[in-house]
Structure 1
């Protein structure tokens, strides 16, 4: 599946991925026809200001135009297009079905994710390999394909690379 052809970017003052995820879900509520909605976060730095910008996209121009109007009316700065081509997908078709432990094949079958890449290993994982979702699956766009980075976990399972509750750097100092 390729990225959606109709996309709007939303500038924010948000500086953390957690806050960006929350805001993205909030803003997605104005989007009609959310079954094919893609919502991504993008780490940007413009004008010396670091932040997490958002993009919302769909295969429906009408839905994106309606969302653009609602977001602008809500006081958001909206532009055409995504911030970059490597967005971190939070909202995408099938995301809600990725709960519990699934095989790699089930994950690919139930969602818009097209590939799983296991860090530190060559090649694709066996489709029968269990993946513990932790109810937090954040793939990235890579060359027009949604790819989930995963890592080995306990008992020959995999987990998504991004941790839902990361420990802040130097938290024990």
Structure 2
């Protein structure tokens, strides 16, 4: 079951905070929750929440306001198709801390592929400095982490933990 929610969050940070306080406490280990940037009826962040088991627990979440139904439905459809969505919660996210090899990331989480920005898939022995923020995205039916070269010689996720304020909402 994939539930689309659109509650009018204006920023990714607001949406992630809402997920952390309302969805994460449900304690569902196979949960995959994503953020989706939407433009209509106004720019905001919609959410998609997928949980194969114990889906009845999602009934505790609030309903999407009528004017945002289309955005919620689109977020759920994109997640279901594996076309888009930035995963905030997913199996193994709690283990994505410190420096891990790409192979450890793939073996220890729902992430299926790590790609280097502008390049091909990363080799399993490359170190990845997670910076304690690993947000893969749906691409062609797979959860893919986009990484970039890191000054240590390995990789780091492309998304930085504390973006500069001018770019924080893009």
Q: Common fold, TM-score beyond 0.5?
A: yes
Aligned to 1:115: 113
Root-mean-square deviation (Å): 2.1
Written as runs of structure 1 = structure 2, the 5 A alignment for 1:1-173 is 6-29=1-24, 31=26, 34-47=28-41, 49-60=42-53, 63-67=54-58, 69-72=59-62, 76-77=64-65, 82=76, 84=78, 85-121=83-119, 123-169=120-166
Aligned-pair distance for 1:125?
Answer: 1.5
Does the 8 Å CA contact 1:8/1:64 hold for their aligned counterparts? no
Matches of 2:122 and 2:16 in 1, distance apart? 28
The TM-score, its normalising length taken from structure 1, stands at 0.83
Matches of 2:24 and 2:105 in 1, distance apart? 25
Matches of 1:142 and 1:113 in 2, distance apart? 11
Q: SS of the counterpart of 1:54?
A: strand
Unaligned runs of 5+ in 2: none
Aligned-pair distance for 1:169?
Answer: 2.4
| Alignment CA distance shift 1:27-1:170 (3 Å) | closer
Aligned-pair distance for 1:23?
Answer: 0.8
Q: SS of the counterpart of 2:38?
A: strand
Matches of 1:30 and 1:103 in 2, distance apart? 29
Aligned-pair distance for 1:148?
Answer: 0.1
Larger radius of gyration: 1
Unaligned runs of 5+ in 1: 1-5
Aligned-pair distance for 1:65?
Answer: 3.1
| Alignment CA distance shift 1:131-1:65 (3 Å) | same
The TM-score, its normalising length taken from structure 2, stands at 0.84
| Alignment CA distance shift 1:15-1:147 (3 Å) | same
